[in-house]
Structure 1
Amino acid sequence: MQMNTTRATSAAKARPWYTHRWPWLLMLGPALVVIAGIHTTWIAFTRQDALVVDDYYKEGKAINQDLRRDRIASDMGLHASLRYDAAAGKLSGSVLGLGESASGRLSIKLVHSTQPEKDISLLVQPDGGGTFEASLAMLDMARWQVLIESEQRDWRLHQTWNWPQQRSIQIAAETSR
């Protein structure tokens, strides 16, 4: 009996390493890490990072200018309402301030939260009552940053819009502090 056991273990030892399952199982982990690293490197080099601003200093200085525009909108008592009708493909709304409509053309920007190529810019002319309507293709389900400003860019209103959870939004200028 001793002889059969010795023969079986010596036969197992005589098999080459690649015929055993354990070396392959142990090499699987590092091999997957190498493959994942190659894939991550490929993604990093083929996709542009759209969230990084080239001139961060200039952008930082512009924040103060934007805050002035918010204060002007607040002093004017501006508020807006927007509603999107997906079936008709229409964005409608109004911009009013201290009981009167905003005059002149308005710029409405819908900024996609992660994909800048999906950003939308509209130029609308409100009627005498401050209401407007614009054609708008189907909006993606996303969290949009809405920016409404005068054509001269002297004031602005902004807010986040979760489409389609929110069918309409109300935007009010923040009060001065």
Structure 2
Amino acid sequence: MQSNATLKTPGKDTAPWYAHRWPWLLMLGPAAVVVAGVHTTYLAYSNQDALVVDDYYKQGKAINHDLSRDRVAAGMKAEAGLGYDAARGQLRGSLRSFGQPLSGKFTLQLVHSTQPEKDVRLTVETDAGGAFTAPLPMLDIGRWAVQIEPDQRAWRLHGEWNWPQEREIRLLPPAP
């Protein structure tokens, strides 16, 4: 006599597919790619691309003018020293030409390498000894492009400053 109960065959599993772990593990890779793609799309559309400019041709032509300003700075042996005192929130510096102090008003720019909203533009006035101080509440950690030029924009000094690894920076014109 045979019973109505079915006999299980060894090696044959009757559980549904979703009860096994292997299909889920195989789907994990493509699911992670989809999530990463959605996140990348969100980042691309929610953040402004600050590296692209509309007038790239005009800026490219202006490079030659900037190089002439570098040559003027080299001819007058201009140099600058900058230091930041985080405890006091002060940027201090000095300007010299032919070893003598430079006096007057100057524009000092600190440009953040990746975040333009953190850029700083200061107008500083040196004393008779060529020294100046400017209030700067907080200088973020990072790489900064530094540029100093007089109000007339006849010459400029520029360089890179890795704050806080470099506590002070000395700007010299590029060698001819």
TM-score normalised over the length of structure 1: 0.90
Q: Give the equivalent residue in structure 1 for 2:90.
A: 90
* 2:123 match: secondary structure: strand
Shift of 1:99: 3.1
Aligned to 2:31: 31
Aligned to 1:145, what secondary structure does the other structure show? strand
Identity %: 57
Aligned-pair distance for 1:24? 1.4
Deviation at 1:164, TM superposition (A): 1.0
Task: Measure, in 1, the Cα distance between the counterparts of 2:42 and 2:168.
Answer: 41
- Could you say which residue in structure 2 is the equivalent of 1:139? 139
Mapping for residues 157-176 of structure 1, pairs under 5 Å: 157-176=157-176
Give the 5 Å matches for 1:44-123: 44-123=44-123
Q: 1:74, CA displacement in angstroms?
A: 0.7
CA-based RMSD of the aligned residues comes to: 1.7
Counterpart residue type for residue 160 of structure 1: E
Q: CA deviation at 1:5?
A: 8.5
Structure 2 distance, partners of 1:100, 1:51, is: 38
**Greater share of helix residues, 1 or 2?**
1
Match of 1:7 in 2: 9
C-alpha distance in structure 2 between counterparts of 1:17 and 1:175, whole Å: 72
Letter in 1 for 2:128: G
CA shift, 1:90, in A, is 1.2
Report the Cα distance in structure 2 between the residues aligned to 1:5 and 1:149, rounded to whole angstroms.
Answer: 91
1:124 aligns with 2:124: yes
* Contact 2:103–2:129 (Cα < 8 Å) also in 1: no
* Whole-angstrom CA distance in 2 between matches of 1:5 and 1:138: 77
Task: Identify which range, 27-36 or 47-56, moves more after superposition.
Answer: 47-56
Residue type of the alignment partner of 2:105:
R
State which drifts further: 36-45 or 16-25.
Answer: 16-25
Equivalenced residues, count: 171
